[in-house]
Amino acid sequence: MPNTLHVDYELKTYDESMKIVEEAMEVARQEIPKGVVADYIPELGKADPNQLGICIYPLQGEKIELGDYKTRFTIQSISKIISLCVALELFGANKLFEIVEAEPSGEAFNSLVELDLNSNKPYNPLINSGAIAVAGLLIEEVSFHDMLRFSRELCDDKEIALNRKVYESEMSTCSRNRAIAYLLESKNIINSDVEDALRFYTKMCSLDVTAESLANFANRIANDGVGNITGKRYLSSETVRIVKTLMLTCGMYDGSGTYAVEVGIPTKSGVGGGLLAVSDKRAGIGVFGPSLDPKGNSIAGCRLLKEISNKLRLSLFFDTDYLKATRKDYSLNQKLHE
């Protein structure tokens, strides 16, 4: 088997990497009972909370796949990354940031309080208000069918399709998102048909994906928008730069700061239990675990990524001199107590 992942400067073999991921899965599984599946969309409430799967797709080497990595689930908020990519490619950053900011929000994913009281723009494109605003822009240029085609291409997964049951279940219970959409219209942020924008947004959330399809997409983002085998460019460097930055600062809702400290990998979550994580220049990672923490992020999935980030040293912020710096003679703690 070829080598797969770097840990510091040392290249781990496939078997060594797999062992690390297997151990991380065992630790992460223990978190499952502490979370609950989302049931505010009734169809999502039917998911088996005990599922957990991961696909790690390194830029060089074999995929590492474990558990329920082939199970289909709805992409939910991770679709905000696809819509953001398409909006940046079609309209450019200047036009996009006319309708949405790039600031983290300390509010829940479906909050409309800040938008109503404090701002004339949604805080960022990765919360519901921002993504519904982006949907209002996208429907001027593309159909849902176009988006389905882009999604299949970006995720290298021809099987991605609309999950009608989840879509209809969400459309019949989406008063909050509808309220957000009309608030955006009242502020002239949505100028297209507001119900069309809401349907488009909800359809994008209802695409069925797997952890593997998310890893394929993440791999391309990690490789500056280029397929690591074909060399084909899917996204511009500028789009990729903005998307990675927003994933790091805003991708985990009001849990983004803690997650950045604990894991340090740009990631986007969805209430279907998916996580799309981009370890820049190293690997794309897709995770599925439908038991969620109170912020709406996969509870076991986050723990799994935390373990893997620490073991494989994937955090963006690891000091490459870390090992040297923690040797006894470099210990700040020791110096303080000398």
* CA distances to 60, 159, 182, 185, 338 from 162, in Å: 32, 10, 25, 26, 64
| Shortest separation between residue 95's beta carbon and ligand GLU, angstroms | 24
H-helix segments, 61-174: 79-99, 113-117, 128-138, 144-154, 164-171
Region 83-122 residues binding ligand GLU, contact defined as CB under 6 A? 109-110
Nearer to ligand GLU, 76 or 239 (CB): 76
Contact status: 177 vs ligand GLU (CB under 6 A): yes
Using CB under 6 A, which of 17, 51, 71, 77 touches ligand GLU?
A: 77
Helix H or strand E segment including 226: none
Q: How far is Cα 305 from Cα 20, in angstroms, rounded to an integer?
A: 12
Query: Which residue in this structure is represented by tokens 């474990």?
Result: 66
Catalytic residues: 77, 80, 201, 253, 271
Contact status: 128 vs ligand GLU (CB under 6 A): yes
Size of the site for ligand GLU (CB under 6 A): 11
Nearer to ligand GLU, 110 or 163 (CB): 110
Nearer to ligand GLU, 170 or 212 (CB): 170
| Shortest separation between residue 92's beta carbon and ligand GLU, angstroms | 26
Nearer to ligand GLU, 203 or 282 (CB): 203
| Shortest separation between residue 167's beta carbon and ligand GLU, angstroms | 10
Nearer to ligand GLU, 83 or 128 (CB): 128
Among residues 128, 124, 117, 119, which one has the least CA distance to residue 97? 124
Region 178-207 residues binding ligand GLU, contact defined as CB under 6 A? 205
Q: How far is Cα 123 from Cα 105, in angstroms, rounded to an integer?
A: 6
Q: What is the dihedral of CA 280, 226, 125, 189, to 10 degrees?
A: 160
Contact status: 170 vs ligand GLU (CB under 6 A): yes
Q: How far is Cα 134 from Cα 157, in angstroms, rounded to an integer?
A: 24
String of contacts with ligand GLU for each residue 276-315, x by CB under 6 A: --------------------x-------------------
Q: How far is Cα 149 from Cα 158, in angstroms, rounded to an integer?
A: 9
Nearer to ligand GLU, 128 or 279 (CB): 128
Output phi, psi for 260, to 5 deg: -65, -40
Using CB under 6 A, which of 37, 197, 271, 305 touches ligand GLU?
A: 271
Among residues 97, 61, 62, 31, which one has the least CA distance to residue 273? 31
| Shortest separation between residue 17's beta carbon and ligand GLU, angstroms | 29
Helix, strand counts (H, E) of the chain: 14, 10
Q: Which spans of this chain sit near ligand GLU (rule: CB under 6 A)? A: 76-77, 109-110, 128, 170, 177, 205, 270-271, 296
